[in-house]
Amino acid sequence: MSTPPADRIGAAGWTRLIARAFALVVFLLACLLLYALAAPLPGRNPMARVFLSGVLRIVGGRITITGKPATAPSVLLANHLSWIDIPALASATGTAFVAHAGLAEHPIMRFLCELNRTVFIARNDRASVAAQVDQVRDGLHESGVLTLFPEGTTGDGPQLLPFKSSLLAAVEQSAVDVTIRPVWIDYGDLTSQFAWIGDEPGLENAKRILARAGHFTVTAHLLPALTPEDRRDRKAIAAAAHAAIAEQMDQRVAL
Q: What is the pLDDT of residues 149-174, one digit of tens each?
A: 999 888 777 789 999 887 787 777 66
Do the domain assignments include residue 64? yes
Q: Is residue 1 part of a domain?
A: no
Beta strand 216-222 with 61-66 is: parallel
- Does 98 reside within a domain? yes
- Residue 15 domain-assigned (yes or no): yes
Looking at the predicted structure, is the pLDDT value of residue 89 above 80? yes
Encode pLDDT of 90-137 as tens digits. Answer: 999 999 998 877 777 788 888 888 888 888 877 666 555 667 677 777
Euclidean distance between the first and final Cα of the chain, in Å? Answer: 19
Q: Calculate mean pLDDT across residues 214-241.
A: 94
What CATH code is carried by the domain that includes residue 12?
A: 3.40.1130
Residue 153 lies in a domain: yes
Tally of structural domains, the chain: 1
Q: Is residue 152 part of a domain?
A: yes
Radius of gyration of the chain (CA): 18
Q: For residue 225, what pLDDT band results from cuts at 50, 70 and 90?
A: very high
Percent of all residues in the chain with a pLDDT value above 70, rounded to a whole number: 89
- Structural domain including 209 reads 6-254
Return the number of other C-beta atoms located less than 10 Å from residue 162's C-beta.
11
pTM above 0.75, yes or no: yes
Residue 101 included in any domain:
yes
Separation CA 208–CA 16 (nearest Å):
10
Measured distance CA(238)–CA(137) in Å, rounded = 17
User: Is 14 within a domain?
Assistant: yes
For residue 251, give the H/E element and its range.
helix 234-254
Please state, in angstroms and rounded to a whole number, the distance separating the CA atoms of residues 117 and 86: 13
